[in-house]
Structure 1
Amino acid sequence: MVGVTKPLTPVTSATPPPLPPPPPAELKFEGNPGKNPLGEASFRDMCSRLPSVLARTTRMAWETDRRAVLLLLVCQLLVGAGAAVQLAFTATAMQPVLGSGPAAGRLRAALPALVVIAVAAAVTRVATALSSYADGRITPRLTTGADTALVEAVCRTEAAAYAEPGFADRQEAAEMGVTRSRMMVQDATRFTAALVRMVTAGGVLSVLHPLMFPLLVLAVVPAGAGAVLSARVTYETHYANVGDRTVRQMMRWWSTTPKYSDEVRANGMTGYLLHWYRALSGRIDRRTLTAAPRMLRIVLTSSALGGVFLVGTWATLAWLAVTGRVDLAAAATAVVAVQTSLAALSQLVIHGAAMFHTSLYLADMRSFLDLVQELAPRRGELTAPARVAEIRVDEAVYQYPGKESPAVDHVSLTLRRGEIVAVVGENGSGKSTLTRLITGIYLADKGRVTWDGVDLARADPDTVWARTGLVPQNFAQWPLRARENVTLGQPRTVDDGPVWDALDTVGMRGAIEELPGGLDTLLARELFGGCELSGGQWQRLACSRALYRRPPLLILDEPTSQMDVRGERDVLDALKATAADQITIVVTHQLENTKVADRIVVMRHGRITEQGPYEELAHGGGLFAELLALSKDR
């Protein structure tokens, strides 16, 4: 009897609700590289920083545009002289205006002084306008200089520095210094202009009566102290948020760039990424809002103290006038001088606090640049051979910071011109690290790497990298024209012949010719008029970039992972065609492609376990044979 299969009873239990996403991890800017410069700074220390900031700003501006700096200095003197003339002739004009006699006669008597005041005011306004012009000449170049210095420093530092704890956080803090440098000259100019006006008005007040100026200073000192303390609170909040802001900015780019939009949408990541972004933003906002009560207490206290002393200043002036200790003309001049001094002192406080605030971020930038300078290559001045014939790796060891075991562990290897060497192994076996040692991107912790006997630790790295061509596993897709994506700033001729030759080598001529502008097409879909290539086309273009250089050492790390069969064949044929003139290294997981190699090097746990020709290793019963069998069994 044939059994009858009963249909399965559907499961009726309700699907459990999804778990809420976990909050982002706490991210702090701390550790050995990161130390809050305000952590142990006293109020006196903070105030004493202003002269050095002013001197540094002047020095940087002088190096940028000397004529503009001289113009600024002349303008500052004119502003001060104009303020002094206006106050002095105000007293002269007040004598007849407040005197006796017909109004017309009094005005005629005051007219010469009033004309001088008007001329002085006009000169002051012209000087202020010229100051803005000079600032407009200095600031863009100064900011560009600071930004370029930061980019150059990062580009020239050791690649190993990126693995240093806190390097990314310190770089983000330094970026804020570049941003703040835009206001540096303007704040310094306004600070010194206010200082000149304050000194001028204060001198007039001191002449009128010695009590006036000290009282006026006392009225503004609390505001100055409050501004500096507020800057300290603001910076502490900024400092606490550095880590979160760095990661949030990274996540913002990864979440919104069109390059990864398919992965975000098709994998249902949108909800979690938005939760993650809101959570980080909320944490940043909470720290900022927590600082608000402290800021309020500082402002209320400083304002109250300043108000008490300001009332005392006006009361003293009224008492002096009522008791006849100063005449009415002098009292009227004192009113103008007090108003001028108050305005100047307020500007002095505002821009002095801004300069102090900026100095904190500039200190971060300077500290980062000093760190990068310490980590910059200091390998020697030997010149790498122009056509290297042999590269030797002798007992090389390299261990990444924070790792327990070396990525490359006592590796010895000899590479010769005309040879294609394939490097294979499982993930994490040290293949890419070995190529970085061979190119001098990393320097061995132990052992050495030599090019025709020249130790890379003693060679000028620029001469080494001028002779290498590298296609990394994660290659860049530069938002440049197609031509620059091949030459990348290293054109060999004025015509495009070598560019087309490199594109022909990898089978990309047709794809580039179909673009709207050919070689002049911008390869950035995000920008107006730009076009995009497929992943495989980008990889071919990256290979053409390395082949265009015709380097003595060519390294390709997974060069065909995104290509179709035709593109893969084009690249492998190109390797064989150019192999005689160079040392060629191919890192790959596609073991069938290693047939193109003269020798295969097999790595495991940072060591070389086997090496030899394809047929020998394929039947040798070792790791290569095992991996090859697994690849065919898929």
Structure 2
Amino acid sequence: MTETARPTPAQPADPHPDDHPENHPDDHPEDAQQAEHEEEFRIRFPGGDTRLTAGRSISTSTMLRRLPQLIRRALHLAWIADRRSTVLLLLAQAASGVFGALALYATTGTLAALLRPGPVAGHLRDAAPSLAVLTASAALRAVLGITVLTLSGKVAPRINREADMALIEAGCSAELAAYDEPQYGERWEAADRGASTTPDLLTSAQDVIASTVSLLAATGVLATLHPLLVPFLLLGSVPTGIAALRTARIHYLAAITTGDERQALRIYRWYLIDKGRADQVRSDQVLPFMLDKYRKAEARVVAVTDRAGREAARVSLVAALGTGAGSALMWGALLYLVSSGRIGLAAAGSATFALRTAAGGVQGMVGNGARLYRMGLYLDDYFTFLDEAGGHRIARGSIVPGPPRTIEVTGLTYTYPGEQQEPALRGIDLTLTQGEVVAVIGQNGSGKSTFLKLLSGLYLPQPGGGQIRWDGVPIGDLDADALFRQVARVPQEFARWPLQAAENVHLGQHDGDDPAPAVAAAASLTGFDETVARLRSGWRTLLAQGWQGGAELSGGGWQRGAVSRAFFRTARRPGLLILDEPTSDLDPRAEHRILHSLRALAPGRITLLVTHNLANARLADRVVVVDQGRIVQTGTWDELAHHEGLFRELLALQADRTVPAQRRSPTG
């Protein structure tokens, strides 16, 4: 799971481009000029970035206290992913430690037998049992090592899969408004990094366990040889441990402080390689300009990481000097014990092996523990995101709505996050009734798309920003999933799912019955059935160009499919049907077919139609005209067409096809 594998869920494309007239630089030339060198990708965390604060407060003692918790967390993830393999993994680790201790004790017996005075043949006979134990222990440890490696390789991908699915589920459980918050994308990315560490988390955790078992076995042997050797063992490892933990902190803080730049790199990269903009990247020759921005952001990341690397190197150098001094003291103590006759040569030989094993165990604990701790910092971001969905988990009421008979909007005002934002909606009052078709008309940036998202419950009214009630119940008191089940919508930027043609219509929304008849019925209302009939495998055709067997549709074909999807959904649960420019890519015949189908579907549901083709609004029972976030006119098409106002002005402009001057013929 690499950073280039997927775009951030906070998509770089503006999710509501029509609702921000204040964002156009031409409207505020002085502000745009002032911000030219100031406004780059910067993530604002209200109250500050708590991860940065926490990272700076990390101490060595805090890290040491957290290691057992991280090991438990890693084993818990492994337990969820594969219980049987996790149990076998722990048993194999424990058995490996036991055989390691037996090998050390057998080394003592072997050396004692070989170093005694007397014939060599007799020494070998006496050493044979210890040699047998030593050989068997080494062989069994090798087999157990292979077993541990195999089990880790089996469990790690399962952990990653479970972590990834949990992260996706949490991300899809956030309010849609989260995508308008700059810090949400960064929290997702931090959680994504945490999820990507989960396979390595198990590996590091089991390495820490293995090193701990080896250390305990070696320490036990040293204690039986001479207790004085045990405290000297720590002298050669403590400096390395402290340094490893501090360098983990340094690198984590570097990753956090470069969050803005790394987010910018992902956005620049996504814009340059995304298929939807590939033609413009070439025709507009934007690559050199965007690569220059990319290099500048990358240079800031490199500067921080280089500085962190130098700081970590200084810490490691000091630790290496301390480790060398500690090792010298340890071996000096061993020589003293031998020279003073406190231990014999055989015991000294065993102590040498034990010291090397114990030192390796301590260094393994320290190195893997530091790596585990660093992963744990990212894992904290992951679990925090799961708990809070980036601070935006959907938490609404529990009332299950049916198809709304009336939707009442009172005093609705809505403003997107951002210091320079103006309200997208201002004091909207409107009542919608079942069976009614309402056309919503307005210029780009008038607030239409935002209004429809609020009506369908994708956004909630802000505190003090008015209210929306479904059959008298505030929309925030309704169960979110139950509300969404009552909504069928075609947004301007509809999804082009990489699924089979039939799946693109039903999206799994059926109760186990055969969805084919309902899919065919919905498609016949839009002409999508005719599009599918021309595909090689009909309804089974994969709509994913570039994949084996995949096919691509025209813009109009995809739009027919999107409208069919909404018709299929509303046929199952007549509630609220919203179509935002549903015929923008269609020819007149296909447009006529869909609009007549829309009129036929009107009974039993509330229907809203957004269209810039004012002639299409004739089919509506009522026309609502929105301008700069306000409803400025409402009435029937004929009423608005014959009264002064914005609707009549737009109608006249749409009908005006004159040119400023008569065009001359080529021979004129």
Quote the Cα distance in structure 2 between the aligned partners of 1:332 and 1:630.
Answer: 98
SS of corresponding position for 1:621: coil
Instruction: Say which of 256, 274, 279 aligns to 1:239.
Output: 256
Quote the Cα distance in structure 2 between the aligned partners of 1:84 and 1:598.
Answer: 86
Quote the Cα distance in structure 1 between the aligned partners of 2:604 and 2:534.
Answer: 32
SS of corresponding position for 2:460: coil
Instruction: Say which of 565, 568, 575 aligns to 2:598.
Output: 575
Alpha-carbon distance change, 433 to 28 in structure 1, aligned in 2, over 3 angstroms: closer
Deviation at 1:594, TM superposition (A): 0.9
SS of corresponding position for 1:581: coil
* Counterpart code for 1:151: I
Structure 1 partner of 2:468: 449
Instruction: Say which of 209, 214, 221 aligns to 1:192.
Output: 209
Structure 1 partner of 2:663: none
Deviation at 1:293, TM superposition (A): 1.5
Higher mean C-alpha displacement, 430-439 vs 617-626: 430-439
Instruction: Say which of 164, 170, 177 aligns to 1:153.
Output: 170
Structure 1 partner of 2:532: 512
Instruction: Say which of 579, 584, 607 aligns to 1:561.
Output: 584
Alpha-carbon distance change, 28 to 503 in structure 1, aligned in 2, over 3 angstroms: same
Quote the Cα distance in structure 1 between the aligned partners of 2:258 and 2:327.
Answer: 38
Quote the Cα distance in structure 1 between the aligned partners of 2:251 and 2:43.
Answer: 16
Alpha-carbon distance change, 96 to 364 in structure 1, aligned in 2, over 3 angstroms: same
Q: Is the 8 A contact 1:471 1:559 kept in 2?
A: yes
* Counterpart code for 1:485: N
Residue 209 (1) aligns with residue 226 (2): yes
Q: Is the 8 A contact 2:215 2:362 kept in 1?
A: yes
Q: Is the 8 A contact 1:172 1:242 kept in 2?
A: no
SS of corresponding position for 1:413: strand
Structure 1 partner of 2:414: 398
Instruction: Say which of 329, 332, 336 aligns to 1:319.
Output: 336
Structure 2 partner of 1:257: 274
Higher mean C-alpha displacement, 609-618 vs 26-35: 26-35
* Counterpart code for 2:654: S
Deviation at 1:24, TM superposition (A): 9.5
For residues 315-361 of structure 1, the C-alpha deviation after alignment (integer angstroms, 9 at most, x for no partner) is 32223223322111101101110111122122111210111011110
Quote the Cα distance in structure 2 between the aligned partners of 1:24 and 1:185.
Answer: 43
Output aligned runs, 1:98-113, within 5 Å.
98-113=115-130
SS of corresponding position for 1:174: helix
Residue 60 (1) aligns with residue 80 (2): no
Instruction: Say which of 488, 493, 517 aligns to 1:497.
Output: 517
SS of corresponding position for 1:309: helix
For residues 440-488 of structure 1, the C-alpha deviation after alignment (integer angstroms, 9 at most, x for no partner) is 1122234332223333221111111111101111111112222211111
Quote the Cα distance in structure 1 between the aligned partners of 2:39 and 2:101.
Answer: 59
Residue 465 (1) aligns with residue 488 (2): no
Higher mean C-alpha displacement, 215-224 vs 366-375: 366-375
Structure 1 partner of 2:49: 34
Structure 2 partner of 1:308: 325
Quote the Cα distance in structure 1 between the aligned partners of 2:550 and 2:300.
Answer: 38
Structure 1 partner of 2:295: 278
Q: Is the 8 A contact 1:399 1:405 kept in 2?
A: yes
TM-score (norm 2): 0.87
Higher mean C-alpha displacement, 520-529 vs 352-361: 520-529
Deviation at 1:25, TM superposition (A): 5.6
Q: Is the 8 A contact 1:162 1:168 kept in 2?
A: yes
Residue 527 (1) aligns with residue 547 (2): yes
Residue 347 (1) aligns with residue 361 (2): no
Quote the Cα distance in structure 1 between the aligned partners of 2:409 and 2:43.
Answer: 38
TM-score (norm 1): 0.92
SS of corresponding position for 1:282: helix
Quote the Cα distance in structure 1 between the aligned partners of 2:622 and 2:58.
Answer: 62
* Counterpart code for 1:482: A
Structure 2 partner of 1:600: 623
Q: Is the 8 A contact 1:75 1:131 kept in 2?
A: yes
For residues 132-162 of structure 1, the C-alpha deviation after alignment (integer angstroms, 9 at most, x for no partner) is 3433443223222221221111111111222
Structure 2 partner of 1:370: 387
Quote the Cα distance in structure 1 between the aligned partners of 2:554 and 2:261.
Answer: 34
For residues 539-559 of structure 1, the C-alpha deviation after alignment (integer angstroms, 9 at most, x for no partner) is 221111111112421101111
Structure 1 partner of 2:25: none
Deviation at 1:314, TM superposition (A): 1.9
Deviation at 1:255, TM superposition (A): 1.1
In the alignment, structure 1 segments of 5+ residues that lack a partner are: 1-21
**% same residue:** 39
Q: Is the 8 A contact 1:468 1:552 kept in 2?
A: yes
SS of corresponding position for 1:412: strand
Q: Is the 8 A contact 1:380 1:457 kept in 2?
A: yes
Q: Is the 8 A contact 1:438 1:449 kept in 2?
A: yes
Alpha-carbon distance change, 28 to 340 in structure 1, aligned in 2, over 3 angstroms: farther
* Counterpart code for 1:559: P
SS of corresponding position for 2:545: coil
Residue 125 (1) aligns with residue 142 (2): yes
For residues 104-152 of structure 1, the C-alpha deviation after alignment (integer angstroms, 9 at most, x for no partner) is 2211211111111222223323333333343344322322222122111
Instruction: Say which of 494, 499, 507 aligns to 1:480.
Output: 499
Quote the Cα distance in structure 2 between the aligned partners of 1:27 and 1:430.
Answer: 25
Deviation at 1:23, TM superposition (A): 8.3
For residues 30-85 of structure 1, the C-alpha deviation after alignment (integer angstroms, 9 at most, x for no partner) is 53262312122223223322122122223333333333332233222212211111
Q: Is the 8 A contact 1:394 1:447 kept in 2?
A: yes
Higher mean C-alpha displacement, 490-499 vs 524-533: 490-499
Structure 2 partner of 1:409: 426
Deviation at 1:518, TM superposition (A): 2.1
For residues 152-200 of structure 1, the C-alpha deviation after alignment (integer angstroms, 9 at most, x for no partner) is 1111111122223411111111110001111111111110110111011
Structure 2 partner of 1:12: none
Alpha-carbon distance change, 472 to 412 in structure 1, aligned in 2, over 3 angstroms: same
Q: Is the 8 A contact 2:235 2:330 kept in 1?
A: no
Structure 1 partner of 2:26: none
Kindly tell me the number of residue pairs found equivalent between the two proteins.
612
Alpha-carbon distance change, 28 to 210 in structure 1, aligned in 2, over 3 angstroms: farther
Higher mean C-alpha displacement, 89-98 vs 527-536: 527-536
In the alignment, structure 2 segments of 5+ residues that lack a partner are: 1-35, 658-668
Structure 2 partner of 1:176: 193
SS of corresponding position for 2:356: helix
Alpha-carbon distance change, 102 to 516 in structure 1, aligned in 2, over 3 angstroms: farther
Q: Is the 8 A contact 1:24 1:276 kept in 2?
A: no
Quote the Cα distance in structure 2 between the aligned partners of 1:247 and 1:565.
Answer: 42
Quote the Cα distance in structure 1 between the aligned partners of 2:331 and 2:595.
Answer: 88
Higher mean C-alpha displacement, 550-559 vs 352-361: 550-559
Higher mean C-alpha displacement, 74-83 vs 401-410: 401-410
Alpha-carbon distance change, 518 to 251 in structure 1, aligned in 2, over 3 angstroms: farther
Structure 2 partner of 1:9: none
